[in-house]
Amino acid sequence: MSLFIVFILSMVFVINSKGSELTSDDYYLKDKAYQQEMEAMNNAEKYGNPVHFIVKNDTLHITFMSKVQPDSLTVMFMRPNSRKLDQEISIDRLPMAIPTSEFVKGNYEVRTTFYVEDQFCEQNTDLTIK
């Protein structure tokens, strides 16, 4: 019984000696960046999340479904399980077609950033390339 009490007291001491802060040191900067990201996502929603990805006949088609054309469109293809397979593409004009052979088959998280009428927009999409 006394060994159990010593064990519990030592665990309490070890846990209390480690930092248990729930916020990071630069929480204000992270919160500010998160707020900007949320505003960019809301801006994209205003335009109806206009970037569409369609995989058809071994080709990935990227289209912009809005009357207003974007400026400086960047598409980041991120593999959840392998950072080495991430790809970033800057697009000058739409629509665009990319052969799916340039990608490893699987799931991707696609982050699209662009400017429309001087507003920064961000759209996130899940994509599966078979």
Give the Cα separation of 121 and 108 in Å (integer). 20
Q: Domain boundaries in the chain?
A: 49-130
**Over its length of 130 residues, how does the chain's per-residue pLDDT go in tens digits?**
899 999 999 988 887 777 655 555 666 667 778 889 999 999 999 989 999 999 999 999 999 988 888 888 999 999 988 888 899 999 888 889 999 999 999 999 999 999 998 999 999 999 999 8
Q: In this structure, which topology does domain 49-130 adopt according to CATH?
A: Immunoglobulin-like (2.60.40)
Determine the distance from the C-alpha atom of residue 63 to the mean position of all C-alpha atoms in its chain, rounded to a whole number: 19
Tell me whether residue 50 is exposed, middle or buried, using C-beta atoms within 10 angstroms of its C-beta: 0 to 12, 13 to 18, 19 or more: buried
Per the CB < 8 A criterion, the answer to whether 92 and 79 are in contact is no
